[in-house]
């Protein structure tokens, strides 16, 4: 073995070999009758960039899967790709300059783009040692097979009466010309003006502060806070909107902020998300105010003007007519197209025909389901429950986009009746495919229309447990593997991926989809804030892997407590690398002596042997419990401490005299047998965490004697593999050796230099133990003569 451990060559070699047919059996879901263990892993959005967050969950799932395989499970570790998102459409539209109007061409270009992105990300996953069952369980939400399942499940939900269509406001980016998911929007601070506008009320007037005077035409009510004493007398009255003249009622609502402007607000359809809530809550009329290009509509002579122009023009007219009381410069938060895009255009709310899933009805059932799941960590359950409590409207599942799974329904334009396709015709694209019937079953109208709407991406990804367990495709596999054992994911998508999956799978199968949920936190930038390119605090996994190796990065990330957010730190990665070198060097040392497998049975163990065996037994107990409970930080720390400090620092030092000087063949064999056993057990416990170095060591030292294809097809160590021994005597010897060593250091005597004479004073009982191990103590510390005296504990060197 080489002196220096070089992760780069060794890791890449194993990553390739693990993907070869020779090793496939190790990682394959075999469906061979063994108990199964199924992990529902996150399908990442195919952005092309595999960041530290992705790598973190890949490491978690890979470690869990390798561990469970060693525990005798038939593990199903799938990996999917969440392909169909707006960012891809924008890239294809602007970078590749493909127009959206030709839907077929545009879609095929999106697929081409996505395939490139997937191969980039997959390469990154492989570099961290991630080894899912790509061969059988790689799925892509843009594939026709996947579409088919998404559409099939929507039809099942339609048959249960859970799908309907109605007009509803959507988040709209007028620059990108598309609807956005709420998750793609965010607040940015912007300079703006607050206009104080007079509204007529009886013979008097009231004053309302607004940043959006261009929406006056769409004002449908006015609201005050019920606790605002100033306006008690105007409640229930009607005010007249300036310029446009409509009369609107004054209502009260707790959500009105009495400190903003004058404490009176106008409700328009729609200025912001609060307006949507109020419109729903009070069943207010809807006046469409803005069109898809961001132009004002239904607004007299202002119709057709861009939002900004209309605002200027209306303010000017308000001033002329004496309705404008004052204007104020303000900094305010504006909802904009912020996520996965640098667009930053303020969001408008457009009323569109939308498809819905009746999700509000399932709030109580979902809360019951949350109680049935084992949560790791426990406190994450409350996050889901709080979210369920907050749900105010049904799930809008349609998006006005191109690259997505087509909504699989036609509808009657006259009566609104929904017409699903025949299941055998799936997948369908109702924007071009013919409906299965020519007239409406409800009203006989021939006016049947398809839709160009596509599904919200969460509709795609909320059936991953059904996809991987072969729901409706292979009953035998499905009944064996559903519900899946764990869903692993980040805490940022509890409200979306977790909630939607639970909802859809419960509705579709009658059973919740997971037994346990394992939730990870975020890896933040070293400065403790979220990694972002604009802040310059992004650390790419590639940097860590090329400097220190995947196994080093794996140790460092597994040292984080599951569920919490952590700033990225290099120290544990560096420590991880040093640990690998320590492991390598120790194995290199041991390998000089291991020429055969020497069984430990019937060997005469000395006190130090018993001590290291008892330490290892203790380590197996702690690590096994930690691995079972997903407390990887405890497992990694315990393994590192045991191996470095107990085995390398103490045991190997103490065993050297026996290896080099022993005239006693039997004792030499015992020492070698103990070393073999310790390293063999250790690398198996360490294999799920650092799969590369342990595989290399296995092949160099152990494969000839043990015969498994890979270390990852061996079993996880148990206490039964080691004799029950009393390590107490040995511990005393280890302690006295450590004390004398410290004394040598204090006296500036090199550790390898001889010492003529040592006096050890201690209790009689301890002296007995020391005397029994006198030869060893002398050899390890290069002492010529030791005198043992009863008395207060002390050590003298000469």
Sign of the C-alpha dihedral computed for residues 755, 759, 760 and 765 taken in this order = positive
Shortest reach from residue 441's CB to Zn ion, in Å: 8
Pairing of strands 178-180, 163-173: antiparallel
Q: Rank residues 45 and 686 by Cβ distance to Zn ion and give the closer one.
A: 45
Shortest reach from residue 316's CB to Zn ion, in Å: 29
DSSP letter at 471?
T
Shortest reach from residue 348's CB to Zn ion, in Å: 11
Shortest reach from residue 57's CB to Zn ion, in Å: 29
Query: What letters, b where the CB count within 10 A reaches 16 and e where it falls short, cover 99-136?
Result: ebeeeeebbebbbebbeebbeebbebbbbbbbbbbbee
Q: Rank residues 173 and 222 by Cβ distance to Zn ion and give the closer one.
A: 173
Measured in whole angstroms, the distance separating CA 584 from the mean position of its chain's CA atoms is: 32
Shortest reach from residue 457's CB to Zn ion, in Å: 17
Look up residue 306 and give its two tokens.
Answer: 């861009």
Report the interhelical angle of 550-558 vs 632-641 (nearest 10°). Answer: 120
Q: What is the 3-state secondary structure (H, E, C) of 643-662?
A: HHHHHHHHHHHHHHHHHHHC
Shortest reach from residue 110's CB to Zn ion, in Å: 17
Burial of 242 (0-12, 13-18, 19+ CB in 10 A): buried
User: Site residues (CB under 5 A) for Zn ion?
Assistant: 173, 175-176, 337, 343, 345, 412, 414-415, 417, 440, 442-443, 445
Q: Rank residues 417 and 570 by Cβ distance to Zn ion and give the closer one.
A: 417
In angstroms, the Cα distances linking 284 to 249, 280, 281 are 10, 7, 8
SS3 state of residue 396: strand
Q: Rank residues 171 and 198 by Cβ distance to Zn ion and give the closer one.
A: 171
Q: Rank residues 180 and 598 by Cβ distance to Zn ion and give the closer one.
A: 180
Q: Rank residues 176 and 468 by Cβ distance to Zn ion and give the closer one.
A: 176
Strand order across the 783-790 sheet: 783-790, 755-762, 794-797
The whole-angstrom separation of Cα 410 and Cα 139 is 28
Q: Rank residues 176 and 594 by Cβ distance to Zn ion and give the closer one.
A: 176
Q: Rank residues 451 and 619 by Cβ distance to Zn ion and give the closer one.
A: 451
Q: Which secondary structure element, helix H or strand E, spans residue 170, and what is its range?
A: strand 163-173
DSSP string covering 741-763: HHHHHHTT--TTS-EEEEEEEE-
The whole-angstrom separation of Cα 125 and Cα 569 is 21
Q: Rank residues 420 and 688 by Cβ distance to Zn ion and give the closer one.
A: 420
Q: Rank residues 84 and 520 by Cβ distance to Zn ion and give the closer one.
A: 84
The whole-angstrom separation of Cα 668 and Cα 676 is 12
SS3 state of residue 127: helix
Shortest reach from residue 184's CB to Zn ion, in Å: 9
Shortest reach from residue 179's CB to Zn ion, in Å: 11
Whether 598 and 672 have beta carbons less than 8 Å apart is answered as yes
Whether 769 and 730 have beta carbons less than 8 Å apart is answered as no
Q: Rank residues 415 and 719 by Cβ distance to Zn ion and give the closer one.
A: 415
**Residue 383: partners with Cβ closer than 8 Å, 6 or more residues away:** 491, 494, 495
Query: What letters, b where the CB count within 10 A reaches 16 and e where it falls short, cover 26-52?
Result: bbbbebeeeebbbbbbbbbbbbbebbb
Burial of 249 (0-12, 13-18, 19+ CB in 10 A): middle
The whole-angstrom separation of Cα 131 and Cα 146 is 22
The single residue listed with the structure tokens 């839907």 is: 103
**Residue 784: partners with Cβ closer than 8 Å, 6 or more residues away:** 754, 755, 756, 757, 778
β partners of residue 490: 520
Shortest reach from residue 422's CB to Zn ion, in Å: 19
Shortest reach from residue 338's CB to Zn ion, in Å: 9
Shortest reach from residue 84's CB to Zn ion, in Å: 17
Shortest reach from residue 173's CB to Zn ion, in Å: 3
Q: Rank residues 293 and 706 by Cβ distance to Zn ion and give the closer one.
A: 293
Shortest reach from residue 53's CB to Zn ion, in Å: 24
DSSP letter at 293?
T
Shortest reach from residue 112's CB to Zn ion, in Å: 23
Q: Rank residues 330 and 334 by Cβ distance to Zn ion and give the closer one.
A: 334
Q: What is the 3-state secondary structure (H, E, C) of 575-588?
A: HHHHHHHHHHHHHH
Shortest reach from residue 87's CB to Zn ion, in Å: 11
SS3 state of residue 505: helix
């Amino acid at each position: 073995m080489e002196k220096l451990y070089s992760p780069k060559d060794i890791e890449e070699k194993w990553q390739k070999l693990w993907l070869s047919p020779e090793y496939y059996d190790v990682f394959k879901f075999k469906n061979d009758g063994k108990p199964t263990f199924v992990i529902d892993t996150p399908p990442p959005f195919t952005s092309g960039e595999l960041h530290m967050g992705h790598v973190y969950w890949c490491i978690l799932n890979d470690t869990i899967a390798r561990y469970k395989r060693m525990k005798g499970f038939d593990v199903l570790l799938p990996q999917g790709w969440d392909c169909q998102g707006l960012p891809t459409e924008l890239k294809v539209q602007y970078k590749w300059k493909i127009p959206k109007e030709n839907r077929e061409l545009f879609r095929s270009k999106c697929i081409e783009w996505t395939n490139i992105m997937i191969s980039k990300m997959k390469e990154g996953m492989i570099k961290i040692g991630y080894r899912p069952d790509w061969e059988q369980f790689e799925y892509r939400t843009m594939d026709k097979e996947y579409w088919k399942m998404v559409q099939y499940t929507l039809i099942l939900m339609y048959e249960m009466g859970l799908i309907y269509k109605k007009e509803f406001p959507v988040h709209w980016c007028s620059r990108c010309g598309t609807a956005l998911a709420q998750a793609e929007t965010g607040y940015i601070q912007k300079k703006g003006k607050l206009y104080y506008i007079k509204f007529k009320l009886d013979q008097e007037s009231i004053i309302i502060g607004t940043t959006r005077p261009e929406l006056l035409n769409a004002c449908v009510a006015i609201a005050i806070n019920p606790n605002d004493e100033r306006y008690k007398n105007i409640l229930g009255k009607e005010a007249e909107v300036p310029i446009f003249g409509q009369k609107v009622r004054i209502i009260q609502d707790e959500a009105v902020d009495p400190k903003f402007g004058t404490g009176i607000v106008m409700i328009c359809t729609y200025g912001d998300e609060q307006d949507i809530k109020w419109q729903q809550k009070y069943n207010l009329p809807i006046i469409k105010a803005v069109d898809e290009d961001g132009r004002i509509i239904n607004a007299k002579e202002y119709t057709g003007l861009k939002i900004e122009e209309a605002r200027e023009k209306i303010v000017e007219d308000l001033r002329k007519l004496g309705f404008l009381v004052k204007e104020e410069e303000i900094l305010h938060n504006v909802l904009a197209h912020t996520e996965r895009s640098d667009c930053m255009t303020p969001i408008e709310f457009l009323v569109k025909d939308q498809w819905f899933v009746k999700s509000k009805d399932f709030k109580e059932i979902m809360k019951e389901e949350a109680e049935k799941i084992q949560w790791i960590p426990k406190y994450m359950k409350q996050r889901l429950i709080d979210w369920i409590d907050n749900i105010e409207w049904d799930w809008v599942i349609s998006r006005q986009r191109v690259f997505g799974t087509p909504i699989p329904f036609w509808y009657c334009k006259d009566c609104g009746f929904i017409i699903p396709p025949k299941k055998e015709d799936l997948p369908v694209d109702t924007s071009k495919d013919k409906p299965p019937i020519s007239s409406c079953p409800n009203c006989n109208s021939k006016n049947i229309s398809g839709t160009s709407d596509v599904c919200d991406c969460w509709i795609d990804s909320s059936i991953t447990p059904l996809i991987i367990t072969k729901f409706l495709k292979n009953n035998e596999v499905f009944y064996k593997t559903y519900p899946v054992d764990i869903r692993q994911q980040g805490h940022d998508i509890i409200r979306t991926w977790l909630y939607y999956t639970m909802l859809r799978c419960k509705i579709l199968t009658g059973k919740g989809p997971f037994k346990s949920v394992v939730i990870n936190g975020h890896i933040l930038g070293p400065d403790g804030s979220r990694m972002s390119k604009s802040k310059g605090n992004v650390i790419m996994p590639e940097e860590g892997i090329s400097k220190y190796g995947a196994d080093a990065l794996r140790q460092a990330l597994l040292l984080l407590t599951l569920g919490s957010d952590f700033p990225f730190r290099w120290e544990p990665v560096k420590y991880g690398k040093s640990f690998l070198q320590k492991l390598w060097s120790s194995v290199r040392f041991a390998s000089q002596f291991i020429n055969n497998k020497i069984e430990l049975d019937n060997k005469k163990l000395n006190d130090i042997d018993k001590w290291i065996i008892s330490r290892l037994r203790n380590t197996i107990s702690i690590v096994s419990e930690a691995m079972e409970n997903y407390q990887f930080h405890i497992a990694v720390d315990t393994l590192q401490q045991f191996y470095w400090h107990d085995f390398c620092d103490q045991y190997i030092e103490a065993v050297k005299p026996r290896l080099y000087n022993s005239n006693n063949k039997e004792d030499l064999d015992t020492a070698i047998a103990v070393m073999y056993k310790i390293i063999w057990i250790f690398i198996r416990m360490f294999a799920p965490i650092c799969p590369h170095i342990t595989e290399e060591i296995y092949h160099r030292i152990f494969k000839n004697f043990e015969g498994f294809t890979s270390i990852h097809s061996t079993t996880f160590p148990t206490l039964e593999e080691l004799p029950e021994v009393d390590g107490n005597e040995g511990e005393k010897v280890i302690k006295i050796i450590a004390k004398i060593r410290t004394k040598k250091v204090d006296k500036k005597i090199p550790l390898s230099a001889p010492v003529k004479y040592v006096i050890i004073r201690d209790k009689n009982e301890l002296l007995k133990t020391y005397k029994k191990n006198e030869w060893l103590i002398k050899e390890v510390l290069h002492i010529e003569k030791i005198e043992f005296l009863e008395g207060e504990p002390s050590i003298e060197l000469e």
